[in-house]
Amino acid sequence: MRPFRGIYTALVTPFGATGEIDWERFDLLLDAQAAARVDGVVVGGTTGESPSIAREEFHRLVRRAVERLPSSVDVIVGAGRSCRREAGDLIRRAIDEGASTIMLVDPSYNAPSSAEIRREYLGPLTQQHPEVRFLSYVVPGRTGTRILPEDLALAREAGPNL
């Protein structure tokens, strides 16, 4: 797996006046990233309003990015969810669609401890999918949870793709 280097853009998801995704504007965003020669993009992260997007729209965003961007551009997919099974399903499909990296935000609703995030979430998901890289996205202001550095280090030992 190649190391992370260079410039990565967290993409917004453009919406039309009635709340639908504006696919033409999304294509323009992708084209601008390719023209700028960024090293990677994040699709479906919190900047892209993933909690507000239907599952099929989410996967269409991923497919569109993978198909439209040069293969040299990492497509990082924000697949974190409070439900580990749902996150696992999103991860599997994102990998099948060509995602190079999965970004997992800490689960929020159940307010897990740092050790629980490691044992019940990050650990199992990274170990189930060793073929792809993972990023842990820690945003306590949004999630109300936080994995501590020592638990992140333990998760990394168990899953070197993190």
Question: How many degrees, rounded to 5, is the angle at CA 40 between CA 100 and CA 21?
Answer: 90
CATH of domain 8-158: 3.20.20.70
Domain locations along the chain: 8-158
* CA atoms in the 13 A half-sphere facing the CB of 75: 23
Amino acid 4: pLDDT: 87
**Cα separation of 60 and 63, whole Å?**
5
pLDDT of residue 91: 95
- 160: tokens are 């070197």
Residue 146: the pLDDT is 81
Here the tokens at position 143 are: 């999630």
Tell me the DSSP string of 26-95. Answer: HHHHHHHHHHHT-SEEEESSTTTTGGGS-HHHHHHHHHHHHHHS-TTSEEEEE---SSHHHHHHHHHHHH
- Give, for all 162 residues of the chain, the pLDDT tens digit: 778 899 999 999 999 999 999 999 999 999 999 999 999 999 998 888 887 888 999 999 999 999 999 999 999 999 888 888 999 999 999 999 999 999 998 887 778 899 998 998 899 999 999 999 999 988 766 677 788 899 999 999 888 899
41: left (phi over 0), alpha (psi -120 to 50) or beta: beta
